[in-house]
Homo-oligomer: A and B are copies of this chain.
């Protein structure tokens, strides 16, 4: 065909990769998803695709649970316990117990609950410490909380990622950190950072939005006590799926969530005002959960049944290594430089490349049927969801990117920047 679509790069051929797919122990799981024909979807870290059974499941929820059994479904179909049921499916992906995770609200709101509760129990310490590399919403949440509590001396301290550990001072009440950087894919060492913070008396709330479902996590081993994460990325729960919270069992009942609502109360219909949070993780519920969205999350999580998370992690690293290797060999000449760590142990399940025209380049690539996303200021980001991304997809994606660059397709006016929201 042409240089970009060549079948050999360095010592590798596309055929080699097809062979790798053939022997990939995760290959059978791709059939669990419904992916548009011909599309290479490297954006499962923004919005995971629906599972193959999603349509049927959601139709049953609408027609039979909501439509036929109506209000009775709260008991008959277990809607009342759905947040715990979904949490129990997330727990093994985190390496924790079923009763330590609950699905609720959004990542942002869940972070507010934990930061607010921890700021209250830490007494004289009034600083919320955050890595400025966090996804913006985490910083907005922390800023909103500390503004609300400004009269109590609360404040937010932001530091660059590399200065985080040095900033664990004696006035820090609680810290929040993202394990995998949403732009670069840089991965933090959960165990080391948690331990360093603990030595300084600082509880850490980890944001695992770009970790859960893509890494092989063992929060118990790593001493992680608090975490939040996202349901619509690698967990495939659908657009705006509820997020989750994890709190180590022995700490759950030490926390008083500032967002108190009936679903988190020990007696939801009691009209007394006594402060009586529900036992365990349920205290972190607030209002009535969005059942349809939460059912989709439950269905999305079924794609992880019988999946070995160490295989997922192994393949995620291999896909990323392959992507960076091919990019180096074939895209170097076009001003593309790596935007992610080369060492896969220091990287989540995503890779970024940097290019001065990253925005229109990504639009042109999407027009060719390879979906990644642009991130400020100049990142081309590619999510590598090991359950459905194939090795040949990486080959084809890099080839398509090579063509976009070689032919300068990104200079077409239709790829110019407009407002972009995701």
A371–B291 CB distance below 8 A: no
Q: Which residues on B sit within 8 Å (CB–CB) of A151? A: 151-152
CA distance A108 to B105 in the complex (A): 11
Whether A58 sits at the interface, judged by CB under 8 Å, is yes
| Partner pick for A67 among B34, B136, B147, B371, CB 8 A cutoff | B34
Query: Nearest chain-B residue to A151 (Cβ)?
Result: B152
CA distance A258 to B150 in the complex (A): 11
Interface residues in A, total, Cβ within 8 A? 93
Q: Which residues on B sit within 8 Å (CB–CB) of A143? A: 260, 273, 275
Q: Which of A70-78, A245-253, A320-328 contacts B (4 or more CB under 8 A)?
A: A70-78
Whether A116 sits at the interface, judged by CB under 8 Å, is yes
Most buried by B among A55, A148, A259, A422: A148
B71–A422 CB distance below 8 A: yes
With A80-B422, A291-B238, A292-B239 given, is the CB distance from A136 to B265 under 8 Å? yes
B141–A242 CB distance below 8 A: no
CA distance A265 to B293 in the complex (A): 23
Q: Which residues on B sit within 8 Å (CB–CB) of A258? A: 144-145, 147-148
Query: Nearest chain-B residue to A158 (Cβ)?
Result: B273
What distance in Å separates the Cβ of A188 from its nearest Cβ neighbour in chain B? 18
- What 0/1 pattern do residues 151 to 194 of A give for CB contact below 8 A with B? 11000101000000000000000000000000000000000000
Query: Nearest chain-B residue to A374 (Cβ)?
Result: B269
Whether A255 sits at the interface, judged by CB under 8 Å, is no
This protein's copies in its complex? 2
- What 0/1 pattern do residues 278 to 300 of A give for CB contact below 8 A with B? 00000000111111111010000
Query: Nearest chain-B residue to A119 (Cβ)?
Result: B148
B50–A55 CB distance below 8 A: no
A268–B70 CB distance below 8 A: no
B105–A287 CB distance below 8 A: yes
Query: Nearest chain-B residue to A46 (Cβ)?
Result: B71
CA distance A73 to B232 in the complex (A): 14
Name the interface residues of A1-47: CB closer than 8 Å to any CB of B. Answer: 34, 36, 39, 41, 43, 46-47
Whether A132 sits at the interface, judged by CB under 8 Å, is yes
A232–B120 CB distance below 8 A: no
B80–A421 CB distance below 8 A: yes
Whether A227 sits at the interface, judged by CB under 8 Å, is no
A261–B147 CB distance below 8 A: no
Q: Which residues on B sit within 8 Å (CB–CB) of A366? A: 72
Whether A140 sits at the interface, judged by CB under 8 Å, is yes
What distance in Å separates the Cβ of A115 from its nearest Cβ neighbour in chain B? 11
With A46-B71, A50-B67 given, is the CB distance from A262 to B144 under 8 Å? no
CA distance A270 to B419 in the complex (A): 12
CA distance A318 to B262 in the complex (A): 32
5 smallest CB-CB distances across A and B, nearest first, come from: A106-B287, A144-B260, A290-B293, A108-B261, A108-B287
Extra inter-chain contacts (10) besides given A58-B62, A71-B422, A74-B422, CB under 8 Å: A36-B68, A47-B71, A66-B238, A106-B289, A109-B109, A120-B148, A144-B261, A145-B258, A147-B258, A240-B287
